[in-house]
Structure 1
């Protein structure tokens, strides 16, 4: 695995499924809590780490929202994103399309503009420092109602030049994609791309709804699509990109062990799957940790890893010329590595 690990370390790649609030490491959480004089229900970094034992998505979300409470100022959001980009650069990420959850912050009285100024400052700095290009995806929290999503889309209007797409995250079960049909249509009318979490804990029907009702341009997770052969055929035919997150799937008990993960089956079926880190501070690894875990558990070789990286560029929202340039860079690396 040593040679393969080195190959992964330098493999040019994009990350398409990463929640910026989910990159809040315990050390930074404590630092921001102290800086902002925010009380958190943990007395040490070790206590936070011990709390990162989840049996399902909701268990994780409960602690996720507690951690996000330390984010208060423009500087906090800038520092949070800057820390992610530093790690991404070390992992060979050359392009990132990152989720953010404005409702998590605006519901606490933090202004939408505060969040955006901090994140975009870090994005601009990352491009200057690391050469990483990036895009923002505004996620609606599906456990909240349609009216709240519309209010968030309205608040985003002055920032649409910095937002690439809208997404749908948070508690999946009991909150089908069709609940947000009208706000996704409104976002499309604003010129925004659309993505949605579906088929992680929710059934294949949620994937159908994401495709047919929300008309998504990319599917987040999508693991349970494998339960519906006709759906798999459709996803392959339409070359729909799936943003798969192996360590997240393990941590949230979507799979029992990494050896059970279907990433190789997805590749064999011809699905355009990618590997991503989801909420890396909580799930035990950034993007290269996910590549390595999947490669070791499922016996992925160099060709499969290159396919996954190529899919990450093809599935991005970059202009076609930029995609082609990044794929060429990847092929050059693969040929000489």
Structure 2
């Protein structure tokens, strides 16, 4: 276990630090109060992990632990049963990100689960995109969408979702900007999803699959070979193999590191053990993400606070992480330029007590 670093002196507010948020799941973005209200409105009973024992105690290190995580996620997802529910999730995700200094959000969604309640996968993604445009205008945080297939389903379904994503591909808020692959990375063969990613790439969508959290650096290598990622969801375990980490750096793959998720799922014992500094020192571009705040009990600003308190990072290092999030985002060039200027202004401004 690594030795916890010395806590740095108080610095600028991490909430005021302009940043992009590149790893946030649709259902997992929900406030716990929202899932409770949705369950009540639909006459559904929630597990105690969402009522009296929140946030839940989780582990993903074995099949049993992952099953509990997935069961809780499915319970929350089952509460989303209408267009109004879907719009509320998008709007609240934008509001919460705006409150934490996120100026660009890429919300990841698999429309399959919500399709039965709104007339199919096409209406489902159109609802999300329409509300993303409205929420962007209302909050000032621009919301784009990543369509994600699931490893738990047949690769043919991934191709269907890739074609759907391609039809809505665009640039800027309220468009689909990337194609992902989520869920338990120990399931399915990564190579079998490559045709779906080729469909997405032909439409100009970025490749943003999950890899390198529950499985090690060898799976990062496999994902790099078969899915040609622009970013990796997590990818944190590339630190375990210098050759793989060099490849991540050389191929300019952004790593969406989610420290709270890593610890909650048992990948690392403590927040100070997440190899964030090792990745940065190797030259990797890192974007911090909250992953599933509903399940892990922490949001985006908490990840920056952890970098400061658990990793001993000063304001310059936090600004580097914010720049990594912007540079690794799929935001239009003009938006990136403006956000990077705002990050520089944050760092050049007077220090204040952290938030």
| Structures share fold, TM-score greater than 0.5 | yes
The residue number in structure 2 matching 1:49 is: 54
The residue number in structure 2 matching 1:28 is: 34
The residue number in structure 2 matching 1:121 is: 130
Q: Structure 1 residues 82-91 or 233-242, which shifts more?
A: 233-242
CA distance in structure 1 between the aligned counterparts of 2:323 and 2:179, rounded to whole angstroms: 23
1:8 maps onto 2:14 in alignment: yes
Q: Is residue 58–residue 69 contact of structure 2 (8 Å, CA) maintained in 1?
A: yes
TM-score w.r.t. length of structure 2: 0.88
The residue number in structure 2 matching 1:317 is: 330
The residue number in structure 1 matching 2:110 is: 101
Q: Structure 1 residues 77-86 or 38-47, which shifts more?
A: 38-47
CA gap 1:58/1:224 in 2 versus in 1, 3 angstroms: farther
1:247 maps onto 2:253 in alignment: no
CA deviation profile, 1:276-303 (whole Å, cap 9, x unmatched): 1000121111100111122211111111
Q: Displacement, 1:226?
A: 1.0
Q: Secondary structure at the match of 1:40?
A: coil
2:287 to 252, 260, 274: 274
TM-score w.r.t. length of structure 1: 0.92
The residue number in structure 2 matching 1:301 is: 314
The residue number in structure 1 matching 2:234 is: 221
CA distance in structure 1 between the aligned counterparts of 2:140 and 2:72, rounded to whole angstroms: 33
Q: Displacement, 1:267?
A: 1.4
Q: Is residue 307–residue 313 contact of structure 2 (8 Å, CA) maintained in 1?
A: yes
Q: Secondary structure at the match of 1:136?
A: strand
CA distance in structure 1 between the aligned counterparts of 2:71 and 2:136, rounded to whole angstroms: 33
Q: Secondary structure at the match of 2:14?
A: helix
Q: Which runs of 5+ in 1 are unaligned?
A: none
**Aligned counterparts, 1:190-229, within 5 A:** 190-229=203-242
State the structure with bigger RCO (CA 8 A, min sep 6), 1 or 2.
2
Q: Displacement, 1:219?
A: 1.2
Q: Is residue 26–residue 48 contact of structure 1 (8 Å, CA) maintained in 2?
A: no
CA distance in structure 2 between the aligned counterparts of 1:248 and 1:206, rounded to whole angstroms: 18
CA distance in structure 2 between the aligned counterparts of 1:234 and 1:87, rounded to whole angstroms: 35
Q: What is the aligned-residue RMSD (CA, Å)?
A: 2.2
CA distance in structure 2 between the aligned counterparts of 1:46 and 1:38, rounded to whole angstroms: 15
